[in-house]
Structure 1
Amino acid sequence: MGEEVKGPKETEQSPDSPESSAGASSLRRAVESISSLISLSFSIKIFAAKWNTIRTKLEDLNSGLAAVQNCETDENPVLLGLVSNISGTVNECHGLARRCVDLSYSGKLLMQSDLDMLSAKLDLHARNLTEIYNAGVLTHRFAIVVSRPGNGACRDDMRFYVRDLMTRMKIGGAEMKRQALLNLYEAVVEDDRYVKVVVEQSDIVNVLISLLDSQEAEIQEWSAKVVSVISGFGSYKVVLIGAGIIAPLIRVLECGSEVGKEGAAKSLQRLTENSDNGWSISAHGGVTALLKLCSGCEGGDVRAELVGPACGALKNLVGVEEIKRFMVEEGVISTFIGLTRSKDEVLQINSIEFLQNIASGDEAVRSMVVKEGGIRALVRVLEYRSACSCKVREIALRAVENLCFGSTSCVSVLIRYGFVEQLMSFLRNGEASIQELALKVAIRMCAKSEEAKKALGGANL
């Protein structure tokens, strides 16, 4: 909680003054009354859909008021007036709730109409509270920060904490939004139960999506980070897709900061694990944006944390034939051949697997990979003096097996580049896993080409 910021001396007022106490008291009573009403609403068995909606709005309003309980309300007459109006609506709502619990209402249509009007009033109160925040009357310096419940906290406590953060994200200033997003990110990273709490409340997901378009870089970045965590849970991806996450993520990819782009790329990589989402990404220009991130990143100075997930997303989309054709036309093969020279292992693996996948079952594309230097790039990865890991070499060997044994001419190119000597080195000095794979590759080479059989025989296989 920040320090209180006082006005000029002549307008200063003791926090213990009767006026200040009265303002704080009315706010506290409103919060307590809403909390009581929320509890009562769970006892209502009729008009369930309407009461669920009303309860959600009451929870949002309660979080908004709870967040400013430490504000000097006497200095904010607009807030005092709003609290008074809210209290009147809450009293009205208590009456309706009690009649629904007791089944003492006079008619269903009349009660439904009363509930609709009540819901509209709560919307109005929420908008008015938002306007007060946006006007700067209340700032994060006055706000009570709700502590995150400890390990083993009950679901209701976790839900209250998340809704409090959501309220800050909706109506707070830039710093309050940033802090709320940071707290939410820490919660979902450290305890995945919070991910479920977030996803089960669509309004929170909608707030996160809206903040992806924030003009404040840090707000956009933390939103992208939270979404990237949620997108890692398979059962929740459909919620993000249904809420319209694709277009905002692609806008971040196109115009966001480096950190924001990294979060967006990670989310898109995870969302494209289901290739059915490929069309939506393509329709919003996502394939072009991903290709742009990967192009021009050959070897050396590559931000692997950003380019790696972008490569992964494109690799996931190769299975969609029309998208594959578009990528080929855009020059993706030369781009990914260049990325095989990256010093980052994940990026190397993604690029090699991409080339293998895009050429699989497509002779024309396989020929393009060979023509544009794909064989030379794979052989370079396999060189013993290279710094590549054993895992990368194994993947490169599999790629050679899948890409280069379709014709004797490709085998001849492999031999010219010294591939036989590399195979023999793996067979003599490699780890068990790569020895086994190298032997399999050697046998296939001999079966494919007389030239290969002679070369391997000459090397004392």
Structure 2
Amino acid sequence: MGHEDFTGESKPVQNSPERPTGISNLRRTIDFISSLISLSHSVRVFTGKWQLIRNKLEELYSGLIAAENFDSGENPSLSGVLPSMMATISECYDLATRCVDLSYSGKLLMQSDLDMVFAKFDNHVKKLAEIYKKGIWSNGYALVVSKPSLGASKEDMRFYIRDLLSRMKIGDLSMKKQALMNLYDVVVEDEKYVKVIIDVGDVIHVLVGFLCSNQVTLQEESAQVISVIAGFDSYKGVLVAAGVISPLVKVLDFGSEAGKVGAARCLMKLTENSDNAWCVSAHGGVTALLKICGDENCKCNLVGLACRVLRNLVSVEEIKRFMVEEGAVSTFIRLLRSKEEVILVSSIGFIQSIATGDELVREIVIREGGIRALLCVLDPKWSYSSKTREIAMRAIENLCFSSSTCVSILLSYGFVDQLLYYVRNGEVSIQELMLKVAFRLCGTSEEAKKAMGDAGFMAELVKFLSAKSFEVREMAAEALSSMVMVPKNRKRFVQDDNNIALLLQLLDPEEGNSGNKKFLISILMSLTSCTSGRKKIVSSGYAKNIEKLAEAEVSSDAKRLIKKLSANRFRSMLSGIWHS
């Protein structure tokens, strides 16, 4: 025959391949395409053009393999195009051989010939697609897809993706859906497939096209695949350049519930990069997302995702202003009353983001009842998780503690009682958080210190002076130091004899686990402002600890405390301790 295959090992003596007996035209064409693809890898000139040709060959190969598996070789329409395919393959094989041998007459002429053969292969692919669209593939074939094993070569992975691409392009609805499902499976299983998908560029455009399909299943499945790709920072730009944002927003507006969830998840990942925020806004994304958040019939998962997308967008000042004008604050304060924790957590995050550093928005939050709604999350009668309560408490702290007006509103709503409840009864993680919040609250206003004293906070803080955690002991001591500066609190503190005894006991220089001595002495200094306080300090059996600190020159604060205690009639009781 002159040659037996197109492997490149023996060169053909003619341009037209001979027809082996016993092999169908379809199988023969498939084999020759495979050999031509193999030979093309040996070409070292015009590599860009040969890559384009090879892409078309792989696409054609996948489509013909699919037809063979379906046993469609005798289909008249398909049989009719095989001779012209073989003619182009033979022509291309001749070009490949001359490129390998560098035996062509001129570069410009060869480039022109390669462009023409590429156009012919592109035309063959389109004709094949038209034939398949007429229905030669059945639903049953959708299951016949062989996935490469783990650790497969890049070429095997690439071939598999091209096979799926062919099915997505020319299969019926069932086959397209199955191909999308298979595509999702591999990108989730092995992220290397994502890189292959990017390299096989048509896949992205087909996926984006499916988002615009009137077939709900194609929208849903393609959104799932795109969501995985959007999780890679290096590929977000590829998706945006392919025009993915506009159809995603349309799915948010008109898609099914599952489609909307997929679209929102994609947008959430894409808008982690603020550069894409404007694109989402320009295509009406903000309005569509706010509509979802305001729809009481939307499921919590979708609303939670929409909240998170809007939170990403709010970092752009102009978009934030648009949200405020569209009533976003009112919408999200309504969501703060949701019993669904997914919605609740997401809406708290949004409220924080839109109000932080913006006095005007914070005033709207207060006016619309946002603080009261956040405090309801802390109400022990509701069965929210500790994590959700922590998030609500941090939001209250961030929104309210920098404004004396907000602190007053908090106090009027009984915030101190709620705080004290969790300091007394909360599990360790939330108990420590509430202690930190109490510590910060002490520093906000005189009114807050009085309210905390009236509620009984000082007794709880005294207990924390002996905690194992140094940070906890220090916070408790500093908070007490701040609270006893208020005369009413000071008198209340002194009434309990055990309080002063414990403070003096913790001042023992040999007490390895004592709290911060600076704040303990500060508390005692404040207590000397009242007569009963001075008496109880001096008469305590642990008063000598102050002397030990002073004599060891460990603390200058201790010396100042002794000097204050030594004034007037207490001088005789402490004579010899102070040396100036």
| Same fold at TM > 0.5 | yes
1:393-443 Cα offsets, whole Å, 9 max, x none, are 111111111111233222122112221111101211223332232222223
Per-residue deviation, 1:445: 2.2
Query: What is the aligned partner in structure 1 of residue 267 from structure 2?
Result: 268
Query: What is the aligned partner in structure 1 of residue 227 from structure 2?
Result: 228
Q: Secondary structure at the match of 2:67?
A: coil
Q: Is the 8 A contact 1:73 1:80 kept in 2?
A: no
- More off after superposition, 54-63 vs 64-73: 64-73
2:95 paired with 1:99: no
- More off after superposition, 373-382 vs 347-356: 347-356
Query: What is the aligned partner in structure 2 of residue 411 from structure 1?
Result: 407
Note closer, same or farther for the CA distance 1:206–1:22 as it changes in structure 2 (3 Å cut): farther
Q: Is the 8 A contact 2:141 2:175 kept in 1?
A: no
Cα distance in structure 1, aligned partners of 2:268 and 2:153: 33
Cα distance in structure 2, aligned partners of 1:263 and 1:196: 21
Q: Secondary structure at the match of 2:267?
A: helix
Note closer, same or farther for the CA distance 1:223–1:445 as it changes in structure 2 (3 Å cut): same
Per-residue deviation, 1:345: 2.7
Per-residue deviation, 1:86: 0.8
336, 361, 369: which one pairs with 1:373? 369
Q: Secondary structure at the match of 1:135?
A: helix
2:74 paired with 1:78: no
AA aligned opposite 2:456 = N
Aligned residues: 438
Q: Which runs of 5+ in 1 are unaligned?
A: 1-20
2:28 paired with 1:29: yes
Query: What is the aligned partner in structure 1 of residue 380 from structure 2?
Result: 384
Q: Is the 8 A contact 1:296 1:335 kept in 2?
A: no
Per-residue deviation, 1:71: 4.3
321, 331, 342: which one pairs with 2:327? 331
Q: Is the 8 A contact 2:281 2:319 kept in 1?
A: yes
Per-residue deviation, 1:52: 0.8
Query: What is the aligned partner in structure 1 of residue 287 from structure 2?
Result: 288
Query: What is the aligned partner in structure 2 of residue 3 from structure 1?
Result: none
AA aligned opposite 1:324 = K
AA aligned opposite 2:62 = S
2:420 paired with 1:421: no
Q: Which runs of 5+ in 2 are unaligned?
A: 1-19, 458-580
Per-residue deviation, 1:74: 6.0
- More off after superposition, 155-164 vs 321-330: 155-164
- More off after superposition, 165-174 vs 128-137: 128-137
Query: What is the aligned partner in structure 2 of residue 446 from structure 1?
Result: 442
Identity of aligned residues (%): 59
Q: Secondary structure at the match of 1:150?
A: coil
- More off after superposition, 372-381 vs 336-345: 336-345
AA aligned opposite 2:420 = M
Cα distance in structure 2, aligned partners of 1:70 and 1:25: 13
Note closer, same or farther for the CA distance 1:213–1:296 as it changes in structure 2 (3 Å cut): closer
Per-residue deviation, 1:40: 1.2
- More off after superposition, 311-320 vs 384-393: 384-393
Query: What is the aligned partner in structure 2 of residue 400 from structure 1?
Result: 396
2:360 paired with 1:361: no
Per-residue deviation, 1:22: 8.3
AA aligned opposite 2:402 = G
- More off after superposition, 436-445 vs 125-134: 436-445
Per-residue deviation, 1:344: 3.1
TM-score for both structures, normalised by structure 1: 0.91
- More off after superposition, 50-59 vs 428-437: 428-437
CA root-mean-square deviation: 1.8
Query: What is the aligned partner in structure 2 of residue 310 from structure 1?
Result: 306
Query: What is the aligned partner in structure 1 of residue 53 from structure 2?
Result: 54
Note closer, same or farther for the CA distance 1:422–1:143 as it changes in structure 2 (3 Å cut): closer
Q: Is the 8 A contact 2:29 2:82 kept in 1?
A: yes
327, 343, 348: which one pairs with 2:344? 348
Query: What is the aligned partner in structure 2 of residue 322 from structure 1?
Result: 318
2:248 paired with 1:246: no
Structure 1 moving runs of 4+ over 4 Å: 21-24, 71-75
Query: What is the aligned partner in structure 1 of residue 117 from structure 2?
Result: 118
1:301-359 Cα offsets, whole Å, 9 max, x none, are 65122111111000011100000000011111111112123333332221111101101
2:196 paired with 1:167: no
Per-residue deviation, 1:199: 2.2
Cα distance in structure 2, aligned partners of 1:374 and 1:24: 76
- Structure possessing the higher relative contact order (Cα contacts under 8 Å, 6 or more residues apart): 1
Query: What is the aligned partner in structure 2 of residue 67 from structure 1?
Result: 66
Note closer, same or farther for the CA distance 1:424–1:85 as it changes in structure 2 (3 Å cut): same
Cα distance in structure 2, aligned partners of 1:24 and 1:419: 85
Query: What is the aligned partner in structure 2 of residue 10 from structure 1?
Result: none
Query: What is the aligned partner in structure 2 of residue 14 from structure 1?
Result: none
TM-score for both structures, normalised by structure 2: 0.73
Cα distance in structure 1, aligned partners of 2:316 and 2:76: 60
Q: Is the 8 A contact 1:24 1:72 kept in 2?
A: no
- More off after superposition, 124-133 vs 136-145: 136-145
Note closer, same or farther for the CA distance 1:101–1:385 as it changes in structure 2 (3 Å cut): same
Cα distance in structure 2, aligned partners of 1:26 and 1:256: 44
Q: Is the 8 A contact 1:345 1:388 kept in 2?
A: yes
Per-residue deviation, 1:106: 0.5
- More off after superposition, 262-271 vs 392-401: 392-401
Cα distance in structure 2, aligned partners of 1:133 and 1:348: 49
Cα distance in structure 2, aligned partners of 1:304 and 1:378: 19
Query: What is the aligned partner in structure 2 of residue 279 from structure 1?
Result: 278
Per-residue deviation, 1:217: 1.0
Per-residue deviation, 1:177: 0.5
Query: What is the aligned partner in structure 2 of residue 196 from structure 1?
Result: 195
Q: Is the 8 A contact 2:26 2:73 kept in 1?
A: no
- More off after superposition, 198-207 vs 263-272: 198-207
Q: Is the 8 A contact 1:66 1:144 kept in 2?
A: no
